[in-house]
Chain A
Amino acid sequence: MSAGPLRRIPFLAAAHLRHEWVLTLCLVIALAAVISPLLVLLGLKHGTIQTLRERLVEDPVFREIRPTQTREFAPAWFEDLAAWPGVGFLTPTILPLSSVLSVVLPDTSGTTLFDLIPTAPGDPLLLENGGTVPGEGEVALTAEAARLAGVVVGDEIAARVTRSRGGRGEAVEARLRVAAVLDQRAGSLPRVYAPLSFVLDVEAYKEGYAAPARGWAGETPQPYPSYDGAVLLLPAPLQPIVRSGLAINTGFGRVTEITAERVRELLGIVPPDGFACYELLAPGQPVTASSIRAVEQKLRGHSRVLLPYVRDALLRAGDRELRPVGLSLDETQAALLGLEPTPWPGFSGRLPEGGAILNSLWPNADALGQGEAVAVRAPGLAEVDFFLRVAGETILDRPVVPAELLGVLRTASQRAVAFDPDSESFRMARGGFRGFRLYAASIDDVPELYRRLKEQGVEVVAEVEAIERIRVLDQGLSRLFWLIATLGLFGGTGVLVASLYAAVERRRRDLGVLRLLGFARRHVFFFPMAQGLIIATLGLAAGFVGYAVLAGAIDRAFAMDLAPGEAFCILPGGYVPFFCLSTLALASLASLAAAWRATCIDPAEVIREQ
């Protein structure tokens, strides 16, 4: 069928509207009078909320969730927390006391103390305050810190880390490049943000340890040996009073007499006949070297051998499971028991240096050569890979290692212990952190994270209330807007329905003539619809002009309360097409009654009416 008539409809509809321009103008103004206030309302709602939100959203402070207590957080806890939904940034922190850095001032050559805070890639506090995340050897400074240190981006600062060890002050210095100076908003305190590794090294140094990678001297954090209990072997039984004294102020809680078989089980050796055998236990807590020393003190003058033991010690050499015995016997002790002394000193509780802790005796059946190294792995909190050096043979059916080694491995089952192959020694791996810096991905994630952390018993503070207030306000304003919008919608639609219908009634004869000239029913159907759309388009245009004028006036009126770039009346870009399309769709709907009426016009009835 010919599309000609349909194509002429918009032209005719427009010509009709132009002809009746006064009525059209009234309609357009009526529509604009509905659309403008709606747009202003929408803009105000959105603008107000956005301004308030942006003040929160823009400032990462409102996304921060800070711990209020210093307690230990295990690395695994951080891994877990980082995977929570809504976590935007997370880094462990150290003890507040250790988080200070002396920065050498350029002119006075004096120093000043800055807070030292760990950072990591993605840190919103840095990135959203005009900074970059510092790399190794770099720092980011707050504006105040930069001012005090008299540096700008690209300069270097000389940072001094001090400690007191053995009553002597020590210090190391690091030259750090200033990668960024943060905006004032990031905080008014002088602070230095540095990579976590640097902060940890500073902390370690302050605690007296070395940071070998930075050339900072110090101790190596050694793991302490711990035991499940001790076995006391004596040629003669103890007097009850002495025996019970062993459980007083020694760390041990119980002393029981045991059989020779039990001794063999625990230590791999069988005591000479007639020996009194006791087991010393400290139920519920590990036995430390100091407990052993305390018992030794109490038994002074007694001929005895006191040996700590670790139950069910296990090592793996490849596929093979080893159940080593921990024995450190000096010559006296060995003689008393009728055994060979171990090629390492008797038990002292201190870890032998220089790899002596790795010495071991192996059953003849293993046929290992002197000095040979056997790679082993100990299960622990984290598995520890190390090796045992063959120092000789043993008559026992199990490998014999220093009691100190087993003590260390027992500690490793509770605290992270690492083996350093260079120094052939064990050291404590970092157990945990003393705090964290946590930022939610968005302010909306803060309440949930806050709640979950509280649930875990982690005391935190966050700007939850400010965020919640805005959310409630947003909800209230949204409801208000939709209420008014619905009223306006009904009003605007009603005006259109009535006007378009009236236009059809008024122009029945003209529409009849159109039908006579060859327009089919389905063509004249679109006449009111085209008019509805034209009026809606003009109404929208007028509405937006009205909105622009009003919004400008409102923003000018509130200019005092707004920061540059902020506005109280903002129409988000996405809303404009949505609003326009909705209005046009509604106009089409509103024209349906008139369109239906137009199709009912019988040209034969109307062409002679006048």
Chain B
Amino acid sequence: MSGMPPMVRLEGLVKTRSQSESVFELRVPSFEVGPGRMVAVIGESGCGKSTLLDILALVMEPTMVTRFEVVTGPSIPPVDAAALWANGDEAALAALRRDNFGYVLQTGGLLPFLDVRQNILLPGSLNGGRVPSERIEALAVGMGVAGCLDRMPASLSIGQRQRVAILRALAHGPRLVLADEPTAAVDKGRARSIMDDMHRLARDESVAVVVVTHDVDLVMDRADLTYTFDLEHESDSVTRSVCRPVTGGMP
């Protein structure tokens, strides 16, 4: 499995964000995730993990990047996301997100005005395809939310919402799922089962999964690969964060 080409390959990324006086600079020398693999991005808050996720999610423009490729199919040349950003092709980036990505946000990111089933079906309906309801039912049974499909998100518990969000992220068969602190709002036990679900689905569906979390324990033994950040304070106003893979042991 490690021999398969990565879904996303990022090289030489620099993202500079400035806020009033202070400047934050994120550097990612190399980042990649392959199909069926779960990659964890860990670090304390403010280290730039959400920034990295937003860049991977194609909703934040890199300040500088040597290589930013997204593979959309087995025999199709990878899409040059760096070029799309350079050209400002917002529609193509949106299309790329729509067709290939799935998202799980901190609090699920479900649309409160759609019921659970409509939420799950929405990403699939955007690229014209329709997700078979058997698949939804099967996934829902697997995630233990089969009874929630016709309810509104507001009536679900937070744990149920997260599961539905995972379901929505996966239902339309994306090639890459990005999860931003998917367990932040649930207790430890539920968090572990959510992570297990994600990992299992990544393997079953051959999807590349990137999980951003501050909970190191939760992912260390589950992730196939873990990235973390080294923070350097250049000066009072400049903070630099460099992303690197964790090689054995705790960061």
Task: Mark each residue of chain B from 29 to 54: 1 if its CB lies under 8 Å from any CB of chain A, else 0.
Answer: 00000000000000000000010001
**A456 adjacent to chain B (CB < 8 Å):** no
**B25 adjacent to chain A (CB < 8 Å):** no
Once A518-B95, A519-B94 are accepted as A-B contacts, the answer to whether A513 and B111 lie under 8 Å apart by CB is: yes
**B126 contacts A519, CB within 8 Å?**
yes
With the chains together, A518 CA to B59 CA distance in Å?
Answer: 10
**B148 adjacent to chain A (CB < 8 Å):** no
Within 8 A of A (CB), among B222-250: none
Q: CB < 8 Å: which of A4, A19, A522 contacts B113?
A: A19
With the chains together, A1 CA to B94 CA distance in Å?
Answer: 11
Look across to chain B and name the residue whose beta carbon is closest to the beta carbon of A610.
B107
Shortest A498–chain B CB gap in Å is 20
Task: Mark each residue of chain B from 102 to 129: 1 if its CB lies under 8 Å from any CB of chain A, else 0.
Answer: 0101110101111000100011011110
Task: Mark each residue of chain A from 578 to 610: 1 if its CB lies under 8 Å from any CB of chain B, else 0.
Answer: 000000000000000000000000111001101
Contact count band on B? 20 to 34
With the chains together, A515 CA to B91 CA distance in Å?
Answer: 10
**B126 contacts A4, CB within 8 Å?**
yes
Once A4-B127, A518-B95, A608-B180 are accepted as A-B contacts, the answer to whether A603 and B106 lie under 8 Å apart by CB is: no
**B99 adjacent to chain A (CB < 8 Å):** yes
Look across to chain A and name the residue whose beta carbon is closest to the beta carbon of B93.
A520
**A8 contacts B125, CB within 8 Å?**
yes
With the chains together, A519 CA to B103 CA distance in Å?
Answer: 14
Task: Mark each residue of chain A from 501 to 530: 1 if its CB lies under 8 Å from any CB of chain B, else 0.
Answer: 000000000100111111111110000000
**B210 adjacent to chain A (CB < 8 Å):** no
What are the residues of chain B within 8 A of A607 when measuring CB–CB?
59, 105, 109, 180
**A355 adjacent to chain B (CB < 8 Å):** no
With the chains together, A421 CA to B190 CA distance in Å?
Answer: 124
**B98 adjacent to chain A (CB < 8 Å):** yes
**A16 adjacent to chain B (CB < 8 Å):** yes
**A603 contacts B126, CB within 8 Å?**
no
With the chains together, A610 CA to B107 CA distance in Å?
Answer: 9
**A518 contacts B126, CB within 8 Å?**
yes
What are the residues of chain A within 8 A of B180 when measuring CB–CB?
607-608
**A127 adjacent to chain B (CB < 8 Å):** no
What are the residues of chain B within 8 A of A1 when measuring CB–CB?
91, 95
What are the residues of chain B within 8 A of A513 when measuring CB–CB?
105, 109, 111
**A108 adjacent to chain B (CB < 8 Å):** no
With the chains together, A12 CA to B54 CA distance in Å?
Answer: 24
What are the residues of chain B within 8 A of A521 when measuring CB–CB?
90-91, 94
**B9 adjacent to chain A (CB < 8 Å):** no
**B98 contacts A517, CB within 8 Å?**
yes
Choose among B54, B57, B60, B118 the residue with the greatest number of A CB atoms under 10 Å from its CB. Answer: B54
**B60 contacts A604, CB within 8 Å?**
yes
With the chains together, A70 CA to B112 CA distance in Å?
Answer: 87
What are the residues of chain A within 8 A of B99 when measuring CB–CB?
518
What are the residues of chain B within 8 A of A608 when measuring CB–CB?
50, 105-106, 180
Once A513-B111, A520-B94, A608-B105 are accepted as A-B contacts, the answer to whether A2 and B127 lie under 8 Å apart by CB is: yes
What are the residues of chain B within 8 A of A16 when measuring CB–CB?
113
**A553 adjacent to chain B (CB < 8 Å):** no
What are the residues of chain A within 8 A of B107 when measuring CB–CB?
610
**A516 contacts B50, CB within 8 Å?**
no
With the chains together, A517 CA to B100 CA distance in Å?
Answer: 10
**A5 adjacent to chain B (CB < 8 Å):** yes
**A5 contacts B50, CB within 8 Å?**
no
Once A19-B113, A604-B54, A607-B105 are accepted as A-B contacts, the answer to whether A8 and B122 lie under 8 Å apart by CB is: yes
Shortest B121–chain A CB gap in Å is 10
**B97 adjacent to chain A (CB < 8 Å):** yes
Within 8 A of A (CB), among B128-176: 128, 152
**B94 contacts A515, CB within 8 Å?**
yes
With the chains together, A353 CA to B118 CA distance in Å?
Answer: 110
Q: Is the interface of A mostly helix, strand, loop or mixed?
A: helix
With the chains together, A515 CA to B59 CA distance in Å?
Answer: 8
What are the residues of chain B within 8 A of A602 when measuring CB–CB?
59
Q: CB < 8 Å: which of B57, B112, B114, B128 contacts A4?
A: B128
**A298 adjacent to chain B (CB < 8 Å):** no
**A471 adjacent to chain B (CB < 8 Å):** no
Choose among B91, B99, B152 the residue with the greatest number of A CB atoms under 10 Å from its CB. Answer: B91
Choose among A18, A514, A517 the residue with the greatest number of B CB atoms under 10 Å from its CB. Answer: A517
What are the residues of chain B within 8 A of A523 when measuring CB–CB?
94
**B126 contacts A604, CB within 8 Å?**
no
Task: Mark each residue of chain A from 1 to 28: 1 if its CB lies under 8 Å from any CB of chain B, else 0.
Answer: 1101100100010011011100000000
**B113 contacts A18, CB within 8 Å?**
yes
Shortest B53–chain A CB gap in Å is 9
With the chains together, A435 CA to B54 CA distance in Å?
Answer: 94
Shortest B203–chain A CB gap in Å is 24
What are the residues of chain A within 8 A of B105 when measuring CB–CB?
513, 516, 607-608
With the chains together, A516 CA to B165 CA distance in Å?
Answer: 13
Q: CB < 8 Å: which of B57, B90, B113, B122 contacts A520?
A: B90
What are the residues of chain B within 8 A of A2 when measuring CB–CB?
95, 98, 126-128
Q: CB < 8 Å: which of A18, A522, A603, A610 contacts B91?
A: A522
With the chains together, A520 CA to B92 CA distance in Å?
Answer: 8
What are the residues of chain A within 8 A of B95 when measuring CB–CB?
1-2, 518, 520
Look across to chain A and name the residue whose beta carbon is closest to the beta carbon of B91.
A520
Shortest B19–chain A CB gap in Å is 13
Q: CB < 8 Å: which of B97, B106, B114, B127 contacts A516?
A: B97
Choose among A1, A522, A607 the residue with the greatest number of B CB atoms under 10 Å from its CB. Answer: A607
What are the residues of chain B within 8 A of A15 when measuring CB–CB?
111, 113-114, 118
With the chains together, A20 CA to B127 CA distance in Å?
Answer: 27
Look across to chain B and name the residue whose beta carbon is closest to the beta carbon of A510.
B111
Look across to chain B and name the residue whose beta carbon is closest to the beta carbon of A17.
B113
Shortest B45–chain A CB gap in Å is 11
**A516 contacts B126, CB within 8 Å?**
no
With the chains together, A1 CA to B126 CA distance in Å?
Answer: 12
Shortest B117–chain A CB gap in Å is 12
What are the residues of chain B within 8 A of A510 when measuring CB–CB?
111-113
With the chains together, A67 CA to B155 CA distance in Å?
Answer: 86
What are the residues of chain A within 8 A of B60 when measuring CB–CB?
604
Look across to chain A and name the residue whose beta carbon is closest to the beta carbon of B54.
A604
Once A1-B91, A4-B125 are accepted as A-B contacts, the answer to whether A518 and B98 lie under 8 Å apart by CB is: yes
Task: Mark each residue of chain B from 15 to 26: 1 if its CB lies under 8 Å from any CB of chain A, else 0.
Answer: 000000000000
Shortest A44–chain B CB gap in Å is 40
Q: CB < 8 Å: which of A18, A19, A516, A520 contacts B103?
A: A516
What are the residues of chain B within 8 A of A518 when measuring CB–CB?
94-95, 97-99, 101, 123, 126-127
Q: CB < 8 Å: which of A4, A18, A604 contacts B59?
A: A604
Shortest A606–chain B CB gap in Å is 10
Look across to chain B and name the residue whose beta carbon is closest to the beta carbon of A15.
B113
What are the residues of chain A within 8 A of B126 when measuring CB–CB?
2, 4-5, 8, 517-519
Look across to chain A and name the residue whose beta carbon is closest to the beta carbon of B55.
A604
**B122 contacts A517, CB within 8 Å?**
yes
* 23 pairs, A vs B, C-beta closer than 8 Å: A4-B126, A4-B127, A12-B114, A15-B114, A20-B113, A510-B111, A510-B113, A513-B109, A513-B111, A515-B59, A516-B57, A516-B59, A517-B97, A517-B98, A517-B123, A518-B94, A518-B123, A519-B98, A521-B94, A523-B94, A603-B59, A607-B180, A608-B105
Beyond the given pairs A19-B152, A516-B103, 10 more chain A to chain B contacts, judged by CB atoms under 8 angstroms and listed by A's residue number, are A2-B128, A510-B111, A513-B105, A517-B98, A518-B97, A518-B126, A523-B94, A603-B59, A607-B180, A608-B50
A-B pairs with lowest CB-CB distance, top 6: A518-B98, A19-B113, A520-B94, A604-B54, A603-B59, A16-B113
